[in-house]
Amino acid sequence: MKKSTPNLLIALVLLAIPFGYAAYLYPSLPETIPTHFNIKGEADGFGGRDSIFLGPGIMSAVGLFTFFLLSNIKNFDPKRFKNEDDGLFKKMALFMVAFMSVMGLIITYSATGPSVNITKLLLPFLGLVFAATGWYMPKLHQNYFAGFKLPWTLENEDNWNETHKIAGTVWMFGGWFQVIATITLSSKPAFICFMIATAIMVIIPTVFSYRMFKNGNQIK
């Protein structure tokens, strides 16, 4: 058995869970179910009950693509030259599959009725994912597929490392802020806070990276 086989089996099981949940719900669903939601988390689009499988299908396709990409990154990423990265990227591959699986479950549950507010489920979960990603950030070495892939970080390893240390801290605190804000606020303010926090989480490391580049890749 290849070393990658157990991880693939775990990934397939994780991605099958939303399909199993959708199949369980299917007999009890009405003929029309919610398929789209507005900024307030309210259903504003509807389709046939067969569309209950659409969300898990899309998440599974994206999850499998990401899994194979990250699991085999050493074969086609010229920047992935650190041997110790292999284990980290394989863990990240399973992390992304688990993320897609939970996304599939949330989308499936939101289709059970127009009274379900998807914003109150989805945004706190995404905040947790951002926080967890922040924990991974400082461990990433230079590569073309994960992290802040800016001209200055890809050009200079010190710039990459320092940028991802900053990004890790910002994303962990930002992610937990998103969790708290989206749980405690009503849907529309929660969405606005989430998007502002996301923008800040991208801007701060980008500006830091550029300033470090302008300073000759020295921290001043």
Residue matched to tokens 């789209």: 36
**Domain residue ranges of the chain, discontinuous segments joined by +:** 1-117, 118-220
Of 74, 75, 31, the C-alpha closest to 52 is 31
Average pLDDT across the chain, whole number: 82
Check whether 81 has a pLDDT greater than 60.
Answer: no
Model confidence, pTM: 0.75
Of 138, 58, 140, the C-alpha closest to 104 is 58
DSSP 140: P
DSSP 35: E
CB neighbours of residue 125 within 10 Å: 17
The torsion defined by the Cα of 102, 106, 107 and 113, in degrees rounded to 10, comes to 160
Q: Which two tokens stand for residue 213?
A: 């580049």
pLDDT, tens digit (0-9, with 9 covering 90-100), for 14-46: 889 998 888 888 888 777 776 666 666 666 566
pLDDT, tens digit (0-9, with 9 covering 90-100), for 180-202: 998 888 878 888 899 999 999 99
